[in-house]
Structure 1
């Protein structure tokens, strides 16, 4: 099965991109889940949708010939959404969780307006919504490689700080840790990974790849590092298995990846119950 992906450039790009996304999305997702910020992924994915819709609208009404790469516009919107969430968390100091649904609502609202102005859905937008095994170009792959490398570097250098903020933010702040800036860097990394993942998994399903493998690993892991390891393993299994299955059965890769992740989660829950019974 994997020979088909290595035979053609566009499939090879998708496979490499999927492997990278399957690594960094669950890796970052562990910190997202532990900090109880899972809805941030949904909010930023909807903001990314607005960016994609805006780029397709501009290409249709102003520019022609693929002048704008929707991935870059999606990244710009996603990072902007992350910064706005942080700004709103400061505005609503006692109700910081409000920042997430506000940005989520604004993102989907703007996206729907742009889609309606562009006269509805087209094939390109459908691929961004649900993923495609043939949509990853060489430039997209290079961008994903750069984002993946950046995320890994940030996690390596800020591992202790992120770990401390995840489990005890008040103590971390009391010890003099620059929690605000570290959280800002963290949420920008989340925004970049979400935007990078949309080519393979799809905008509407990308948050699942950041949470489902983590949910499965939490059930069976005995410590934080094991949770990181199992999350990456489950994420890679879901992405590679989903891409292979979707290609041979002609299915949307995003949905297939998510359903394999769900099966892994169910297996982890059942295994844990049998072990503790």
Structure 2
């Protein structure tokens, strides 16, 4: 049985590849900003958009995009100007988004079962219009994350320093939030709204086990993202298991495997540094001990 003989699997695999690329591409900036849970908050807000799509008889993908972008912007504005702390604002997005999604779906005459494919992903329901929407939204995410990578990296590392250098910090923070919101809605048909945050964060954390620069972390995280989304999609087809949970479990497995691989490498590097210090070799002593984009001096 050839998986590509089925049109719905062709669409699902194309969507999986796009999601595998853009989720870590955005997640690397969220990890740097210590906002790893932003994807969860936006995912819950997007549930309201899906419910509104059912109620208004419009595309749930585009409606979820609009609502999640609005929610992400509001969260940033609350973080800047409100007295409420960011974690409280995030909690409000969690619960308000969930409640709104269930309420609007009920008003549309449906049940919570209608939300299942959006919450946990579904291969058979990825339509041609979904693929078109995913492609357009993914293109926007790639333009932002690659075209503005230096500026986004600078803001993610140190907002005060970025502001001193003349970068529009607030605008870039808003753009990051909007891009994260778009990524969540792109991924909801493949991974699901409740699991998309894992695909944005865990590949980056896994890549950081081996890499020491921003560019390398970005490339390895995207490679991991594409590998697990394709692997999870194919596995879900042949084994008849949920695609979202399969992809997330594969992602966590990749993190564990790379962590196990990185540990002996780190010990070997530490011994090399210690030996160089004992021998008085300044070049070897300069080897940085940290991994991931935190240690990068540029992109």
Residues 1:161 and 2:159 are matched in the alignment: no
1:197 corresponds in structure 2 to 187
**2:75 pairs with one of 85, 97, 100:** 85
Q: What's the CA shift for 1:157?
A: 2.5
Determine the C-alpha separation between the residues in 2 that align with 1:113 and 1:94: 26
Residues 1:147 and 2:137 are matched in the alignment: yes
2:53 corresponds in structure 1 to 55
Asked if the contact 2:75–2:86 (Cα under 8 Å) also holds between the matched residues in 1, the reply is: no
Unpaired runs of at least 5, structure 1: 60-66
**1:120 pairs with one of 101, 108, 111:** 111
Q: Could you state the TM-score of these two structures normalised by the residue count of structure 2?
A: 0.84
Report how many aligned residue pairs link the two structures.
266
2:7 corresponds in structure 1 to 9
2:231 corresponds in structure 1 to 241
Determine the C-alpha separation between the residues in 2 that align with 1:237 and 1:20: 11
Determine the C-alpha separation between the residues in 1 that align with 2:104 and 2:202: 30
Q: SS state of the match for residue 136, structure 1?
A: coil
Determine the C-alpha separation between the residues in 2 that align with 1:158 and 1:197: 22
Q: Using the TM superposition, name which of 150-159 and 94-103 deviates more.
A: 94-103
Determine the C-alpha separation between the residues in 2 that align with 1:28 and 1:45: 14
Q: What's the CA shift for 1:49?
A: 1.1
- Highest Rg: 1 or 2? 2
Cα RMSD, aligned residues only: 1.7
Unpaired runs of at least 5, structure 2: 268-299
Q: SS state of the match for residue 112, structure 2?
A: coil
Taking a change above 3 Å as real, the CA distance of residues 276 and 176 of structure 1, as seen in their structure-2 partners, is closer
Determine the C-alpha separation between the residues in 2 that align with 1:170 and 1:99: 23
Determine the C-alpha separation between the residues in 2 that align with 1:127 and 1:106: 20
Asked if the contact 2:102–2:112 (Cα under 8 Å) also holds between the matched residues in 1, the reply is: no
Determine the C-alpha separation between the residues in 2 that align with 1:125 and 1:254: 14
1:39 corresponds in structure 2 to 37
